Amino acid sequence: MQISGKEQPVRILLAQPRGFCAGVVRAISIVERALEIYGAPVYVRHEIVHNRFVVDGLKRKGAVFVDELDEIADPSRPVIFSAHGVPKSVPQAADARGMMWIDATCPLVSKVHSEAIRHHEAGRHVLLIGHAGHPEVIGTMGQLPEGAITLIETLEDARTVQPPDPENLAYITQTTLSVFDTQAIVEELKRRFPAIREPVKDDICYATTNRQQVVREMAPQCDVVLVVGAPNSSNSRRLVEVAKSSGCEKAFLVQSAEDVSWQDIRPGMTVGLTAGASAPEVLVEGVIEAFRTRFDTIVELLALKEEHVSFKLPRALRKAAGEKGAAS
């Protein structure tokens, strides 16, 4: 029921940029285009991106999600690797089984893979700043032989790590980390190991950085901050952390409007609203609509910068699409 009268409206500060990044758009497009070209089913190893709404939508179109290649019922069908990247052993296993595979790894994650390989070939031990168990970290560590990469999760790890050769050392990072937390770790590594090689360009991706910056700007103005995203989405969880560390202790991760704790919202409040890089805009719109059914609501855009990044689909998929178009 719409509440009106003398009550003050809820003011929503809507972050810009928010939501889908170029890597996520590319990954989803790869699955959709593969379904158009090859028909259903198309298999996808792991969630293509960390969002249940997106995954369920692709399932309805004919995508079948599996944890491992040996779960694929028909190995003659295409299999797509997720945007987070995979260890080298996965495409090797697919080749051994004669599978046709398509790599949807975000190009910015592929850049980190290339860095790891380059440093290893140059004889350097690699320190990877990231979170244990995250698919991106598993994929990156799987680019090199076991023992060639040491995972650094915390500032304490940076203070205590004992690499095999401190004079031949490089660091790389997961792309979805907190910019500011990572900087503290990097500074400690540089202090301890002055000769350490660093990325030519930051590994933390533009989308992660931009979304964190606008939340850092937004949080001090807000009574509550809502981040639309999945619980297993690293970049979404980091946005909650950034909001809390920037002055808004009441920051929450919500998958959709159904997850909003309405008891925390009162007329007259300012509510910050953003979305992780794998959360579709329709979920943000659903949250705004839910506010409008409960409160007088004013929506103001807090725009930090515009994004114009895009990535091409894999060459093999573009070629297959062209061949299909020519035949039809």
Q: At 322, is the pLDDT very low, low, confident or very high (cuts 50, 70, 90)?
A: confident
| The pair of three-digit structure tokens given for residue 64, joined into one six-digit string | 């079948």
CA separation for the pair 136, 87 (Å, rounded): 9
Mean pLDDT within 207-231: 97
pTM, entire model:
0.93
Percent pLDDT > 90 in the chain is 92
Instruction: Select which of 71, 136, 146, 167 is catalytic.
Output: 136
CA separation for the pair 281, 179 (Å, rounded): 24
| 169-173 β-sheet, strand order | 149-152, 125-129, 169-173
DSSP secondary structure letters along 113-175: HHHHHHHHHTT-EEEEES-TT-HHHHHHHTTS-TTSEEEE-SHHHHHH---S-TTSEEEEE-T
Least confident range from 51-65, 134-148, 164-178, 312-326: namely 312-326
Mean pLDDT within 70-91: 96
What digits encode the pLDDT tens for the residues 6-24? 589 999 999 999 999 999 9
CA separation for the pair 179, 1 (Å, rounded): 41
- Does the structure show a pLDDT above 90 at 31? yes
Mean pLDDT within 96-119: 97
Mean pLDDT within 191-207: 94
* Residue 6: predicted pLDDT: 54
- Does the structure show a pLDDT above 60 at 94? yes
**Burial class (CB within 10 angstroms; exposed 0-12, middle 13-18, buried 19+) of 25:** middle
Mean pLDDT within 205-227: 97
**Burial class (CB within 10 angstroms; exposed 0-12, middle 13-18, buried 19+) of 85:** buried
Angle at 119 between CA 117 and CA 121, to 5 degrees: 70
* 136 included as an active-site residue: yes
Look-up: residue for tokens 């004992």?
162
CA separation for the pair 204, 131 (Å, rounded): 13
Q: At 237, is the pLDDT very low, low, confident or very high (cuts 50, 70, 90)?
A: very high
- Does the structure show a pLDDT above 60 at 1? no
What digits encode the pLDDT tens for the residues 109-136? 999 999 999 999 999 999 999 999 999 9
Coil, helix or strand at residue 211: helix
- Does the structure show a pLDDT above 90 at 4? no
- Measured torsion, CA atoms of residues 308, 309, 311, 312, in degrees rounded to the nearest 10: 30
The H or E element that residue 7 is part of is none
Helices (H) and strands (E) in the chain, counts: 11, 12
3-state helix vs strand vs coil in the chain, percent to 5: 45, 20, 40
Mean pLDDT within 73-92: 97
Q: At 168, is the pLDDT very low, low, confident or very high (cuts 50, 70, 90)?
A: very high
- Does the structure show a pLDDT above 50 at 255? yes
Q: At 69, is the pLDDT very low, low, confident or very high (cuts 50, 70, 90)?
A: very high
Domains observed in the chain: 10-20+206-303 (3.40.1010.20), 22-106 (3.40.50.11270), 108-192 (3.40.1010.20)
Within 10 angstroms of residue 5's Cβ, the number of other Cβ atoms is 6
What digits encode the pLDDT tens for the residues 271-303? 999 999 999 999 999 999 999 999 999 999 999
CB 279 within 8 A of CB 51: yes
